[in-house]
Amino acid sequence: MDVLVALLAVALVSWVYRVAFTGLLGGDRLPASVRGRLDVVGPAAFAALVVTDLAGQPAPLLLPMGAAVVAAAITARLTGSHVAAVVVAGLAWWACSAPWA
Amino acid sequence: MSSITASRADPTRSPVTRAVRDILPLAAATAPFGAVVGVMLDQAGLVGVPALAGTAVLYAGSAQLATLSTMTAGGGVVGAVLAGAVVNSRLLLYSASHGPRFRDGQPSWFRWLAPLTTVDQTFALAAAAGDLRGAGFRRYWTTMGLVLGAAWLAAVAVGMQLGSVVPAHGPLDVAAPATLVALLVPHLGDRRTRRAAVAAGLAALVAGALPGGLGIAVAVVAGLVVAGPDRDDTGEVA
Residues 49-88 of A with CB under 8 A from B: 49-56, 58, 61, 64-65, 68-69, 72-73, 75-77, 80-83, 85-86
- Among residues A32, A49, A66, the one where a domain terminates is A49
Q: Is the pLDDT of residue B1 over 50?
A: no
For residues A45 and A88, state if they share a domain: no
For residues A64 and A42, state if they share a domain: no
pLDDT, tens digit, for every residue of B170-206? 677 788 788 889 889 988 888 999 999 999 999 999 9
Tell whether B41 is covered by a domain: yes
For residues A20 and A39, state if they share a domain: yes
Burial label for A89, CB within 10 Å (0-12, 13-18, 19+), is buried
Tell whether B213 is covered by a domain: no
Tell whether B106 is covered by a domain: yes
Q: What pLDDT was estimated at residue B10?
A: 60
Tell whether B129 is covered by a domain: yes
For residues A35 and A74, state if they share a domain: no
pLDDT, tens digit, for every residue of B53-102? 999 999 988 899 889 888 888 888 999 999 899 889 889 988 988 888 99
Q: What pLDDT was estimated at residue B238?
A: 38
For residues A39 and A69, state if they share a domain: no
Residues 97-136 of B with CB under 8 A from A: 97-100, 102-103, 108, 111-112, 114-116, 118, 120, 123-124, 127
pLDDT, tens digit, for every residue of B95-118? 988 888 998 889 999 999 999 999
Q: Does this complex have an ipTM over 0.95?
A: no
What's the total number of domains in chain B? 1
Distance CA B72, CA B68 (A): 6
Q: What pLDDT was estimated at residue B232?
A: 58
What's the total number of domains in chain A? 2
For residues A69 and A25, state if they share a domain: no
For residues A45 and A68, state if they share a domain: no
Q: Which domain holds residue A36?
A: 1-49
Question: What sign does the CA torsion over A46, B131, A28, A23 have?
Answer: negative
Q: Is the pLDDT of residue B2 over 60?
A: no
pLDDT, tens digit, for every residue of A62-93? 899 999 999 999 999 999 888 889 899 999 99
Cβ within 8 Å of residue B45, ≥6 positions away: A3
Q: Which domain holds residue B114?
A: 15-167
